[in-house]
Structure 1
Amino acid sequence: MLRVVVLISGGGSNLRALLEATRDAEYPAHVVAVGADREAEGLAHAEAFGIPAFTVPYSSFPSREAWGDELLATIAEWQPDLVVLSGLMRLLPPAVVEALAPRLINTHPAYLPEFPGAHGVRDALAAGVAQTGASVIVVDTGVDTGPILAQERVPVLPDDTEHSLHERIKPVERRLLIDVVRGIADGSIGLGAASTP
């Protein structure tokens, strides 16, 4: 059974979808802890599912590196096989990425390498493209530049707003995340070749 720690910053909708998937006795992974970099609404999902939660507040540390050191130490206490970034709106320090790689994955609301960064949905609309998508990647020390594990196209409709487009991407992100975690757990998706140089 794959041991997963999920890190969030906000509402945790991907987290909830993953927790719901793990209710199935056939699903080969379980979430052992949920962490956040602030008091996040999504921690309520952990409570609802009886999952331990922790907070390592970014604002409590003098530097990103000091915060990262404490976050890494706290994650290590749970001995996860995989760490999932699920709406963690903060770049991890390189030392944290390197310590966890390649067992560190993230979802992104675009068809990478198109539209990386914090505003993938807005950037797709601004570019006037006919389609965008969702991706699940291995996290590296770049911005959304890691190896792609799964992705799927989502059409952009003529009357789409950033909100409406994002709302149609989110279910695809959730499904891809659940499938990728399952694939990592059952060995059909390998991470070995994705290690940080």
Structure 2
Amino acid sequence: MAERVRVGVLLSGRGTNMVALSEYKRREPRAYDLVLAASNVPEARGLVAARRLAIPTWAQSHRGMDRAAFDCVLDAELRRHRVEVVALAGYMRLLSPEFIHAWEGRILNIHPSLLPAHKGLDTHRRAIEAGDLVAGCSVHIVTEALDDGPVLGRAEVRIRPRDTPETLAARVLEEEHKLYPATLDYFCARIRRPPIVEGADGGA
């Protein structure tokens, strides 16, 4: 098997998608390794989970720093761990244009809607209020425009008549935990072969 791609995960909360990425690669050989879990929230529960999984961690609060300055520190830490691909997993902070340019085409994000629908926050309430029949999640490449990069994979969840944002969110999260690892693996298996996964479907 080819050398695995070194992935750094950015998180701000529970880190459940990071755990899903780790569990997926433990089942059988995959195209990636998780070499760092980094956070802008030092008390994030996801960091505790990462340590239990023997994933190196790094954390620093962004408070008191402008976006570009913080991202410069973050960039240096990623490079110190020889990260090749960045996976956002509940990272609740916009990345600076400088950071996105430095990692162009190598930042993935999991978003809880069927992009391009419902970009941004509060996606589940908005899907219900819009009368959508289905919701879901998408894995996409990060660009400067919010939730607007090329979509690599999607998974759908039917919206039930009595769904609340909370019940819908729980079912979508289950799909995220399946979609993100499979799509990241697919992406990493091909990232060394130009062109980089353009127009690919992550197997949703």
- TM-score, scaled relative to structure 2: 0.89
Q: Residue 86 of structure 1 corresponds to which residue in structure 2?
A: 89
SS at 1:23 equivalent: helix
Correspondence 1:48-87 to 2 at 5 A: 48-61=52-65, 63-87=66-90
**SS at 1:33's partner residue?**
strand
Structure 1 residues 122-144: Cα deviation after superposition (integer angstroms, max 9, x where no partner): 21122121111110000000110
Structure 1 residue 53, shift from structure 2 partner:
0.2
Q: Does 1:117 align with 2:120?
A: yes
Q: In structure 2, what is the Cα distance between the partners aligned to 1:77 and 1:141?
A: 24
Equivalent residue number for residue 183 of structure 1? 186
Give the Å deviation of 1:60. Answer: 4.2
Deviation at 1:105, TM superposition (A): 0.3
Instruction: Give runs of ≥4 in structure 1 deviating > 3 Å.
Output: none
Please name the residue that 1:21 is paired with. 24
- What is the distance in 2 between the residues matched to 1:53 and 1:2? 18
Gap regions ≥5 residues in structure 2: 200-204
CA contact (8 A) 1:122 1:162 kept: yes
Q: Percent identity?
A: 31
Q: Which amino acid letter does the alignment assign opposite residue 14 of structure 1?
A: N
CA drift at 1:70:
1.1
> For 1:192 and 1:23, how far apart are their aligned partners in 2?
24
Amino acid at match of 2:148: T
Match of 1:6 in 2: 9
Name the amino acid aligned to 2:17: N
One of 96, 101, 106 as aligned partner of 1:103: 106
Counterpart contact for 1:154–1:169, Cα < 8 Å: yes
- Which residue does 1:133 correspond to in 2? 136
Q: Give the TM-score taking structure 1 as reference length.
A: 0.92
Pairwise CA RMSD: 1.7
What is the CA–CA distance in structure 1 between the aligned matches of 2:60 and 2:83, rounded to whole Å? Answer: 17
Shift of 1:147: 0.4
Gaps spanning 5+ residues in structure 1: where? none
Please state how far the C-alpha of 1:25 moved relative to its aligned partner: 4.0
SS in 1 for 2:177: helix
Deviations 1:104-127 (A, max 9, x none): 000011000000002211211221
Select between 9-18 and 21-30 the one with higher mean Cα deviation.
21-30
Rounded Cα–Cα distance in structure 2 between residues aligned with 1:170 and 1:122:
15
Following TM superposition, by how much is the alpha carbon of 1:191 offset from its aligned partner in structure 2, in angstroms? 2.8
1:37 aligns with 2:40: yes
